[in-house]
Chains A and B, each alone.
Chain A
Amino acid sequence: MRSLTLHLKVLITVLVTLGVLITAYQIFILGIPVTEDETDDLWNIDAKVEFVATPHEPVKVQMFVPPLNQNYVSLNESFISNNYGVSINRTGDNRKVTWSARRAKGNQTLYYRLVLTKRYSGEQLKPKGPIFRDEQIPVDGPEKIAAEALMAPIRQHSADVETFVGETIKRVNNVNDDNVKLLLGGDQSTVNKARVVDLLLSIAHVPMERVHTLRLIADQPQNPELWLRSFNGDKWLYFNPETGEQGLPADRLMWWTGDEPLVTLDGGKKIQVNFTLNNSEMNAIRLAKLTDENTDVDFLEYSLYGLPLQTQQTYQIMIMIPIGVLVILILRNLIGLQTLGTFTPVLIALAFRETQLGFGIALFTLITALGLSLRSYLEHLKLQMLPRLSVVLTFVVVLIAVISLLSHKLGLERGLSVALFPMVILTMTIERLSITWEERGAGHAMKVAIGTLFAATLAHLLMMVPQLVYFVFTFPAILLVMVGFMLAMGRYRGYRLTELFRFKAFLKD
C-alpha cells in the first residue's frame, strides 16, 4: 500500500510538473499569449517612391528596406513596380532593394509595401559591433581647436561609452557655445548635429553609427528619424541626437544604418519617398500563426491549431469535457452532491451548448416532467423495460418536435435548436429518475434531479468560459495537471461537505 502511495505521488508529481513545464514553455519561451483577447498591432507600411525619369537612359533606383532581424517580423513584403526588375541584396546590417529598368519616361511611381508585427518568438541574435575605431575624421584649423576644446569637459564629465556619447550630444546641442557654433557652421539640422557628434567621437576613437528609424504611428506622414548608436561591447546603445537621451523607444522600426541616404537614383531626378503607415489589430494567436509561416519557428505546427478549422471547433468542445468531468468529480467527491449517474450531468451540460442555459433548463424540466408522467402511466401497463424505454424515447422525440413547431410558430427561433438536444440522454434521465422516484421517494428524486441540473449548469458555465476554452485549447498540457488532480482525488479520504451535515448527530451531545 505504501509503495502504491509513493508510486501515485511520483506519478502525480511527474504529470503536474510535465503539464506546468510544457505550459510554461509555451507561454514564456514560445510566447503564446495567455488570453485570446490579447491582440497585436499589425503594421502596414507603404513607401512610395516618385521620381522623374530621364528619357533614353537606364533607370536604377536603390532604396534601403528594413533588415527585419530585430524585434519585428515581416508577414508580407511586396514591391509594386511596372516594368522594373527588382532585386534585393544585403549589405552588412542593411537590406537594399534595387529597381531597374532599361528605359523609362516621365513620372515614375514605385511602391514598397511591408506588413509587419512584433516578433513573437525566437532567440535574438547576439549583437555584434565595433568597440573601437581607428580612423579619425580629418579636421584641422580652427575647427580642430574648437573640437579639442569641447572634448576636454566631455572627458571630464563621462565615465564610459554611454555617458561619453550622451555628454557629447548634450554639448553639441548647446548651440550657444561658441565652439559648437563654429563646428555647426550655422546649420542646426539634426543631420549636421550628428555629423559634429560623429566628428567629436572619432577624435576620442569612440565608434558611432547612424541609425535611420521609422516611427510606428498610424496616419501621420513622416520621414526617417535619425538616431545614433554605439556599441558598448555588450549591446547597442541608442541615442537621440537632439537630446542625448539614451534608449530607442519601442515603437521605432530600424530602417537602415549608416551614412548613405535612403534612396539613390541613376537616370532620373526629383526623387521623393513618402511613407504612410496604418495599423490594424489582429487576434494574437492568429497573428502568431501568420508569423509562424514566415519564420522558421513552427511551434504551432503540432498544436491543435494545426488542425483544419472545422475539426478545431469540434476539439474546442471536446477538450472542455475534462473540465466538466472535473466539476462533477469535485461536486460528488468533495461536496457530496448527488447526481443521476456519474457523467449524465456532463452530457446534459453539452446539450445546453445548443439550447443556451435558461432555455435548456426550462426544456429539460418540461420534457422530464412530461416524460415522468408518461412513465408513471406506463407503469400501470406492466411493460417490460426495453419496450417501455422505446415508448418513452419516442414520446420524447414527439415532444421535442412539438416544442420546436410551437416555438417556431410563436417566432422563437431558439426552439429550433432543440432538434439536436440529445434525446437519449433525456430518455435515460427520465427512466432513471422514475426508478429513483419509485424506490427512494419523490423527495429524493427531486433532490437528485436538482443536483443533476445544478452540476450540469455549473459544468456548462465553466465549459463555456471563452478564456478557459482558449486556454485549455491552446495549452492542452494543462490537462496533465488536471489528471494529476484527479489522481490525487482518487485517494482523497477526507469528509465530503454533506457528510459534515449527515453526521452532525454525533456532535449534539
Chain B
Amino acid sequence: MIGLWKRWKALEALGIMGINRRNADYVLKYNKRSLYPIVDDKIITKQRAIEAGIHVPEMYGVISTEKEIDKLDEIIGERTDFVIKPAQGAGGDGILVIADRFEDRYKTVSGKIVSHEEIEHQISSILTGLYSLGGHRDRALIEYRVTPDQIFKSISYEGVPDIRIIVLMGYPVMAMLRLPTRQSGGKANLHQGAIGVGVDLATGITLKGTWLNAKITKHPDTTNAVDGVQLPNWDGFMRLAAGCYELCGLGYIGVDMVLDQDKGPLILELNARPGLNIQIANDCGLTLRTHAVEAHLAQLAEQDVQESPEERVRFAQSLFGHVPNKD
C-alpha cells in the first residue's frame, strides 16, 4: 500500500499523465464535442485538410451504401494497390491494405490472398458499422496506399510506420514514431503490439522506445536499434501537426502522419483521445509539457497575441527539444 503510494507520488513528480487527467484536463476541456465528427470521420478530416491545403493521401472514392459496393471496380480502376478503411473506425480496426493484384485476386500487405468477394464482405461489414465507434452505420473509404520512405526499412518490420505528434492548442508537445511489428499485424497501434519510439521534437532524432508498456531499445522483429535515427523532413512534420489545430479546432489531439517516399509527409488521421504510452516511448511525462504550454498560452492571452504555426513549432522545439530525458 505504501509502495503504491510512493509510486503514485513518483509518477506525479515525473509529470506522467493518467487517463483521468487526460480526460478531465485536456480532452474535455479543449475538445468541443460538436467538433468530434471532424476527427472521428476520416472522410470529413480529409476534406477539411484538402480545403486547408494540408497534404493527405489521395482519396479514390467513398462507398456509403450496399448498392455502391458494385462501384468498387470502377473506383479501383487499374490501380494495383489501395487501402480500404472505415470512415469512423477506431484503433486501426477494419483497415484492409491491398498491396498487389494477383490475377483476379488481391494480395494484402501481409501477403494474404483475398478474393473480390472477401473485399466486398469487408466493405459490407464496414457499412453495417462493425468497426465504427458505437456501431453506427458507416462509410468505407478507398484511398492511396502510402509507401513508407526507405528510411524506415532498417528499423521497421512491415506495414506503414507512422508518426504521432500530440498537439495542444496548436503546440506540438510530444512525438513518437510508431512501428508495426509481427504481433500487430502491420498495424501501427500500440495496443495491438506495435512499438512506439520517442522522437526529439527539435531535431527529429529517434529516442528509445516502448513495447507493451515496457521500455525497449531494439525492434523485437528486426533487432535493429530504434534510437538515433534521423527522421527526414522533421520540420515539415512539425508544421503539419501544428497546422492541424486550425484544421479541426480541437485543442488536444494526436496527429498521425506518414512519410510517403513520393509525396512526403501526409496526414493520415487525427485522434481526439490520443493514448498515453507516448510518455513511455519518450521516457517523459506529458503533464509538465502541457503545463508549460498552458502557461505560455496564458501569457499570450494577456498580451493578446496569437502565434502562427511556425512560431508555435519554434516555441515547442526550443522548450521540449534537445534534452528530452530531463525536462
Report yes or no: A494 in contact with B21, Cβ–Cβ below 8 A.
yes
B274 CB, min distance to chain A CBs, angstroms:
16
Report yes or no: B125 in contact with A385, Cβ–Cβ below 8 A.
yes
Residues of chain A within 8 A of B18, CB atoms compared:
493-496, 499
From B10, B12, B18, name the one whose CB has the most chain A CB atoms within 10 angstroms: B18
Given A1-B29, A385-B125, A507-B11 contact (CB < 8 Å): yes
Report yes or no: A384 in contact with B11, Cβ–Cβ below 8 A.
no
Residues of chain A within 8 A of B11, CB atoms compared:
495, 499-500, 503, 506-507
A376 CB, min distance to chain B CBs, angstroms:
15
B211 CB, min distance to chain A CBs, angstroms:
10
What 10 new A-B contacts, CB under 8 Å, besides A492-B24, A506-B279, A506-B283?
A336-B19, A385-B125, A386-B128, A493-B25, A496-B20, A499-B19, A500-B4, A500-B7, A500-B11, A504-B7
6 contacts between A and B (CB under 8 A): A382-B118, A384-B128, A385-B128, A496-B18, A500-B11, A507-B10
Nearest neighbor of B121 in chain A, beta-carbon distance: A382
Residues of chain B within 8 A of A496, CB atoms compared:
18-20
- Counting CB contacts under 8 A, is B146 at the interface? no
B251 CB, min distance to chain A CBs, angstroms:
12
Report yes or no: B130 in contact with A385, Cβ–Cβ below 8 A.
yes
Residues of chain A within 8 A of B29, CB atoms compared:
1
CA distance A503 to B8 in the complex (A): 10
Count chain A residues whose beta carbon lies closer than 8 angstroms to a beta carbon of B.
Answer: 27
- Counting CB contacts under 8 A, is B45 at the interface? no
Report yes or no: A440 in contact with B192, Cβ–Cβ below 8 A.
yes
Report yes or no: A503 in contact with B279, Cβ–Cβ below 8 A.
yes
Residues of chain A within 8 A of B118, CB atoms compared:
382
Nearest neighbor of B21 in chain A, beta-carbon distance: A493
Residues of chain B within 8 A of A382, CB atoms compared:
117-118, 121
Report yes or no: A500 in contact with B20, Cβ–Cβ below 8 A.
no
CA distance A336 to B20 in the complex (A): 10
Residues of chain B within 8 A of A499, CB atoms compared:
11, 18-19
User: Which of the four size classes fits the interface of chain B?
Assistant: 35 or more
- Counting CB contacts under 8 A, is B91 at the interface? yes
Report yes or no: B121 in contact with A493, Cβ–Cβ below 8 A.
no
- Counting CB contacts under 8 A, is A439 at the interface? yes
B32 CB, min distance to chain A CBs, angstroms:
14
- Counting CB contacts under 8 A, is A435 at the interface? yes
CA distance A131 to B20 in the complex (A): 70
- Counting CB contacts under 8 A, is A508 at the interface? yes
Residues of chain A within 8 A of B10, CB atoms compared:
506-507
Contact with A along B200-237 (1 / 0, CB 8 A): 00000000001001110000000000000000000000
CA distance A263 to B274 in the complex (A): 89
CA distance A507 to B20 in the complex (A): 20
Contact with A along B90-104 (1 / 0, CB 8 A): 010100000000000
CA distance A503 to B285 in the complex (A): 10
Nearest neighbor of B284 in chain A, beta-carbon distance: A506
Q: Which 3 A-B pairs have the closest CB atoms?
A: A493-B21, A385-B128, A495-B18
- Counting CB contacts under 8 A, is B54 at the interface? no
Residues of chain B within 8 A of A492, CB atoms compared:
20, 24
Which residues in B have some Cβ–Cβ distance to A below 8 Å?
A: 4, 7-8, 10-12, 14, 16, 18-21, 24-25, 29, 91, 93, 117-118, 121, 124-125, 128-130, 191-192, 210, 213-215, 279-280, 283, 285
Residues of chain A within 8 A of B93, CB atoms compared:
439
Which residues in A have some Cβ–Cβ distance to B below 8 Å?
A: 1, 333, 336, 382, 384-386, 435, 439-440, 490-497, 499-500, 502-508
Q: Name the prevailing secondary structure of the B interface residues.
A: helix
Residues of chain B within 8 A of A495, CB atoms compared:
8, 11-12, 16, 18, 20
A450 CB, min distance to chain B CBs, angstroms:
18
Nearest neighbor of B210 in chain A, beta-carbon distance: A505
A211 CB, min distance to chain B CBs, angstroms:
61
A276 CB, min distance to chain B CBs, angstroms:
61
Report yes or no: A507 in contact with B7, Cβ–Cβ below 8 A.
yes
Name the contact of B124 in the complex, choosing from A336, A384, A497, A500 (C-beta under 8 A): A384
Residues of chain A within 8 A of B125, CB atoms compared:
384-385
CA distance A495 to B8 in the complex (A): 7
Report yes or no: A503 in contact with B129, Cβ–Cβ below 8 A.
no
Residues of chain A within 8 A of B21, CB atoms compared:
493-494
Residues of chain B within 8 A of A504, CB atoms compared:
7
CA distance A384 to B127 in the complex (A): 10
CA distance A281 to B285 in the complex (A): 64
Residues of chain B within 8 A of A494, CB atoms compared:
8, 18, 20-21
A179 CB, min distance to chain B CBs, angstroms:
76
A172 CB, min distance to chain B CBs, angstroms:
69
CA distance A159 to B93 in the complex (A): 92
Residues of chain B within 8 A of A386, CB atoms compared:
128
Given A440-B192, A493-B21, A505-B4 contact (CB < 8 Å): no
Residues of chain B within 8 A of A384, CB atoms compared:
124-125, 128
CA distance A495 to B213 in the complex (A): 16
CA distance A98 to B106 in the complex (A): 106
Residues of chain B within 8 A of A440, CB atoms compared:
191-192
CA distance A483 to B136 in the complex (A): 30
Nearest neighbor of A382 in chain B, beta-carbon distance: B121
B212 CB, min distance to chain A CBs, angstroms:
10
Residues of chain B within 8 A of A439, CB atoms compared:
91, 93, 192
Nearest neighbor of A490 in chain B, beta-carbon distance: B24
Report yes or no: A506 in contact with B280, Cβ–Cβ below 8 A.
yes
Nearest neighbor of A494 in chain B, beta-carbon distance: B20
CA distance A333 to B21 in the complex (A): 11
From A435, A490, A503, name the one whose CB has the most chain B CB atoms within 10 angstroms: A503
CA distance A483 to B12 in the complex (A): 28
Given A382-B118, A386-B128, A500-B192 contact (CB < 8 Å): no
CA distance A507 to B93 in the complex (A): 32
CA distance A411 to B148 in the complex (A): 65
Residues of chain A within 8 A of B215, CB atoms compared:
505, 508
Nearest neighbor of B183 in chain A, beta-carbon distance: A441
Report yes or no: B20 in contact with A333, Cβ–Cβ below 8 A.
yes
Nearest neighbor of B19 in chain A, beta-carbon distance: A496
A152 CB, min distance to chain B CBs, angstroms:
74
Report yes or no: B14 in contact with A506, Cβ–Cβ below 8 A.
yes
